[in-house]
Amino acid sequence: MSILEVHALSKSYRQAGGDTTLAIGNITCQVEAGEFVSFVGPSGCGKTTLLMTIAGLLAPSSGRVIVNGKEVSGPPANLVLLFQEYNKSLFAWRSVLGNVRFGVEARGAAAPAADAKARKLIALVGLKGFESHYPWELSGGMQQRVAIARALAYEPEVLLMDEPFGSLDALTRLELEDTLLRLWAELKTTILFITHDIEEAIYLSDRIWVLSRRPSQIVQEIRSDFPRPRHQVTTRAEARFMALRNDIYRQIGNQGTP
Amino acid sequence: MRTGKLNGPLFLLALLALWELAAQAEWVNALIIPAPSKIGKLFFDLVLSGQIPMQILVSMKRALTGYLLAAAVFIPLGIFMGLSPTVYKFFEVIVEMLRPVPPPVVIPVALLFFGLGDEMKIFVIFFSCAWPILLNTIDGVRGIDWVLLNTARTFGLSRAKTILQVILPACSPQIITGLRVSLPIMLILVVISEMVGSTDGIGYFVLDAQRRFKVAQMYAGMLALALLGYTLNQLFNLLQRWLMPWQRGRGELE
């Protein structure tokens, strides 16, 4: 049994004029426990809508989402969605420690244990020494590290990530990709990742689903079986990496501009 | 700017000196405008004898009761009105009709219902402080980003916990603004209501002094009210820093 199953999922919106727009076409896919899978697609293809529907934050128009054998009808307890906008999703009134502890507390842990666990995760994302800082005192990359630590503190079986590094600068992005891979290998969480960065998807994932423009559908599934641990220089320098990148780029590029 | 910093206090001292001179030399009618030294001395006497502190205590008890009652009722109401369009529509008309009523107009009505007692003053203050608190809270809740609310949902927070742990702290800056705006309103209305119908309190004290033609005492009461207003504001700043530690130092950096 797959940990996450999406069956014939579609989602349409009623627009202001009364017309309905189909954001998600007909998506069917499965994620196995412990996998790292990415959706990659052009901007405006409904990626965020897709992830929010899988996370139970939006109701699907038709189709089903099944997490660990149970159909999703609201936010499931064993899944958490991490947003791109770390500056909006972090709790401005809580310190770094307080934010991460929130993740542990939301899981239902007692306060003393929560503290120790939060501190451990803060160290894991490389923020030791910043426990008492408030989010506004940190750089964007550090804030997203806090958000990742908070999400992992919740101990989700499935972690959904909506373009988490989309608004970070290129170097910070590479650093965070490696941090994420390290955490994933250590904590064995299943990750479903969304990005519009093709190379990021190849670098991080086991499998990649290429999405079409609106209404989004999976046009191709691609395996990214580079040996782990991966390396920002050597993995990306492999000829196969470039070939894969070009292959996916053609898939997305072929759809033309709307 | 070391010199600039002293300009204000020096100017004030110069004005006081001129006033003192004018009163002593009887350029002005000292019955209406007594010398500042006389007012100052009387003020200290009235403070030391406990008269002014006692009147302020009486007034503050009424003022803070009305103020805190308004906060206790209208912060929660504001949160529910901000969250639910149904609740908002339910109360909208009543709020829009009562809000423009100038608060002193409520005094005669309150007198009818509550007589001359504390309840009348408390009600008037409660009524006048309600609107800034309510409207700022509604604005604060409506300004919360959907990402923050969805974060609470994805972490499986219950409705009650979302309100207490996410919505309330997220809109606390606006709630604090509402409370701050209400603070001088509270002071104004405790004084007015005591002038209209009371036998004690600092508002009564000032009016009574004027009626008995104890002019210096009247000014001493005014001075006490000015200092009270200043102190309340400073205490409020302390409270704000204590309630919102994450905002400390923020202004200096941004």
Q: Which residue has the tokens 């390290």?
A: A182
Q: Which amino acid is at B80?
A: F
- pTM for the whole structure: 0.87
> Is A93 in contact with B246 (Cβ distance < 8 A)?
yes
Least CB-CB distance to A154: which of B155, B172, B254?
B155
Among 2.30.30.40, 3.40.50.970, 1.10.3720.10, 1.10.3080.10, name the CATH number for the domain at B53-241.
1.10.3720.10
Assess whether pLDDT exceeds 50 at residue A242: yes
Which token pair is B135? 């409207």
Share of chain B above pLDDT 70, in %: 96
Which chain A residue has its CA at the smallest distance from B246's CA?
A93
Q: Which residue has the tokens 């972090």?
A: A90
B65 in contact with A at a CB cutoff of 8 Å?
Answer: no
Which chain B residue has its CA at the smallest distance from A81's CA?
B154
Give domain limits for chain B: 53-241
| Average pLDDT of the residues of chain A | 92
Query: For position A258, what pLDDT does the model report?
Result: 44
B157 in contact with A at a CB cutoff of 8 Å?
Answer: yes
B202-207: Cβ within 8 A, 24+ apart: B202/B52, B202/B55, B202/B56, B202/B58, B202/B59, B202/B228, B203/B59, B204/B55, B205/B51, B205/B52, B205/B55
pLDDT tens digits, residue range B126-173? 999 999 999 999 999 999 999 999 999 999 999 999 999 999 999 999
pLDDT tens digits, residue range A161-179? 999 999 899 999 999 999 9
Phi, psi of A205 (to 5 degrees): -95, 165
Which token pair is B216? 């210096």
Query: For position A45, what pLDDT does the model report?
Result: 75
> Is A81 in contact with B250 (Cβ distance < 8 A)?
no
pLDDT tens digits, residue range A137-162? 999 999 999 999 999 999 999 999 99
Candidates A52, A53, A91, partner chain B, best to mutate (most B CBs within 10 A): A91
| Average pLDDT of the residues of chain B | 93
Q: ipTM of this predicted complex? A: 0.92
Among 1.10.10.60, 3.40.50.300, 3.40.640.10, 1.20.1560.10, name the CATH number for the domain at A1-73+156-163+193-258.
3.40.50.300
Least CB-CB distance to A89: which of B147, B157, B244?
B147
Query: For position B250, what pLDDT does the model report?
Result: 67
Query: For position B190, what pLDDT does the model report?
Result: 97
Nearest chain A Cα distance for residue B159, angstroms = 13
Contacts of A80 in chain B (CB under 8 A): 154-155
Q: Which residue has the tokens 């300009």?
A: B7
Give domain limits for chain A: 1-73+156-163+193-258
* Count of CB atoms situated within 10 Å of the CB of A55: 25
The answer to whether residues A153 and A39 touch, using CB atoms and an 8 Å cutoff, is no
pLDDT tens digits, residue range A38-96? 999 887 778 889 999 999 999 999 999 999 999 999 999 999 999 999 999 999 999 99
pLDDT tens digits, residue range B87-139? 999 999 999 999 999 999 999 999 999 999 999 999 999 999 999 999 999 99
Assess whether pLDDT exceeds 90 at residue A182: yes
